[in-house]
Each structure stands twice: as structure tokens, then as C-alpha cells.
């Protein structure tokens, strides 16, 4: 790793670079995007590559801003795994895992396409919720406890899927990433589940 750069920052820089190239070169965008038809023809790498390209600058900004804000703390937890490369594995595997539900749901829709790191970013966000459920997030500068935000976010995502709202947003990837991000650290260290429950109850609300 380059001195002074965390894995979080490196992932952000790589994602920005690849996204900008893809915006300028349509063939790159078409080769990396999540494409059901292409995957059926053996291009399984798209399960990963689609997480490093974004639709536009705003899409890229919000994902990378969220990743930067929460990634550093989550990365600290994973430093003890895979000789310090645990966070990279976690992030890349989250991109793949988050895409699976959408692939299964749309497997007969060859025209289906998707892109963006939202699934992996949600995994990072919900890992942060696991570590500190009552930490304060700022949603449009409004302070809100992480666990409250997580609950509202998941409820809305389920509602959006059932109602068909926002069809261009991959809510299944958001949910899958969130669940993966919450459970994966617990699989590595089961005591985190107990710690989360204790922290959840250890609040003035109870």
C-alpha cells in the first residue's frame, strides 16, 4: 500500500479513475457494467467490475463520500485479517454478494443492466452500524442515530421493491449489501453480535 493511503482511500481513487474512464470511453462502460446477457455468456467478472463504475458524478460522489466517512473505521476492524487486506476482500466480496439477488430476480431479463458501488457501500455503512449502533449520522445535516437510520432505510427498500417504486434503483443490492455488511463481521467474531445487543439496550431509550 502506498504510504499514507488507507485501503479506503485507494478504493475511492481507483473507483473514481475507472468511472471517469468509463464516462469517456463507452466501450469500457459496456464491458464493465452488470449485464445479464453477458454474464450468461461467461463474463462472470461483471459481478465485480460493475461496482467500480457509476452512472454520473452525483452517483459517484454520494457513494464515495459515504465510503470515506464510514470506511476508515470499518477498515480498522478488518486490519487483523488476511495480512491487512481484510477490508479489500470484504469490500470486493460485498460488491459480488450484493449483486446476486438482482441477478436471480432478473435472470430471464437479458436487457437488465446495473452499475455502481451502492451494495458494497451499504455493507460498509451497516458494519459501522454494527460497531456503533447509536452513533450519530447526519442526513442532510440532520443528526439521526445510526440504528434508526438503518431501520428506516431497510423498511423503505423493502417497500420500494414491493411497490415497484424507483425501478432504476437496485434496492435488492442495497438490502443484500446491508445484510452482508452486518453479518460478515459477526461471522468472523461472534462476540460482536452480543456486543451489538448490549450497546443497543444500553441507551436512555430503554
What confidence tens digit (pLDDT) does each residue in 15-65 have? 999 999 999 999 999 999 999 999 999 999 999 999 999 999 999 999 999
pTM of the model: 0.91
**What is the reported pLDDT for 205?**
55
What are the sequence ranges of the domains in the chain?
Answer: 7-201
Nearest partner of 166 among 153, 154, 179, 157, judged by Cα: 157
> Residue 163: which pLDDT band, with cuts at 50, 70 and 90?
confident
Residue 204's pLDDT band (cuts 50, 70, 90): low
What's the mean pLDDT in 181-199? Answer: 96
Class of CATH domain 7-201: mainly alpha
User: Are 127 and 196 in contact, with CB atoms under 8 Å apart?
Assistant: no
Q: What is the pLDDT of residue 4?
A: 61
Q: What is the mean pLDDT of the chain?
A: 91
Q: How far apart are CA 86 and CA 137, in angstroms?
A: 25
pLDDT of 19: 97
How large is the average pLDDT for residues 190-204? 89
Q: 34-35 and 136-139: which strand pairing?
A: unpaired
Are 92 and 149 in contact by the 8 Å Cβ rule? The answer is no
Per-residue confidence (pLDDT) for residue 165, from 0 to 100: 63
Amino acid at each position: 500500500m502506498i504510504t499514507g493511503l488507507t485501503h479506503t482511500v485507494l478504493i475511492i481513487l481507483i473507483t473514481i479513475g475507472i468511472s471517469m474512464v468509463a464516462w469517456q470511453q463507452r466501450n469500457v462502460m459496456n464491458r464493465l457494467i452488470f449485464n445479464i446477457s453477458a454474464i450468461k455468456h461467461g463474463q462472470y467478472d461483471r459481478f465485480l467490475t460493475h461496482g467500480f463504475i457509476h452512472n454520473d458524478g452525483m452517483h459517484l460522489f454520494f457513494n464515495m463520500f459515504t465510503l470515506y466517512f464510514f470506511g476508515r473505521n470499518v477498515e480498522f476492524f478488518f486490519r487483523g485479517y488476511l495480512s491487512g487486506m481484510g477490508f479489500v476482500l470484504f469490500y470486493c466480496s460485498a460488491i459480488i454478494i450484493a449483486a446476486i439477488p438482482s441477478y436471480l430476480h432478473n435472470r430471464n431479463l437479458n436487457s437488465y443492466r446495473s452499475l455502481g458501488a451502492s451494495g458494497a457501500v451499504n455493507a460498509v455503512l451497516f458494519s459501522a452500524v454494527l460497531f456503533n449502533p447509536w452513533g450519530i449520522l447526519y442526513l442532510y445535516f440532520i443528526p439521526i442515530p445510526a440504528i434508526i437510520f438503518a431501520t428506516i432505510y431497510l423498511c423503505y427498500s423493502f417497500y420500494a421493491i414491493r411497490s415497484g417504486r424507483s425501478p432504476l434503483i437496485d434496492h435488492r443490492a442495497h438490502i443484500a449489501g446491508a445484510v452482508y455488511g452486518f453479518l460478515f463481521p459477526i461471522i468472523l467474531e461472534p462476540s460482536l453480535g452480543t456486543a451489538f445487543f448490549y450497546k443497543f439496550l444500553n441507551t436512555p431509550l430503554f
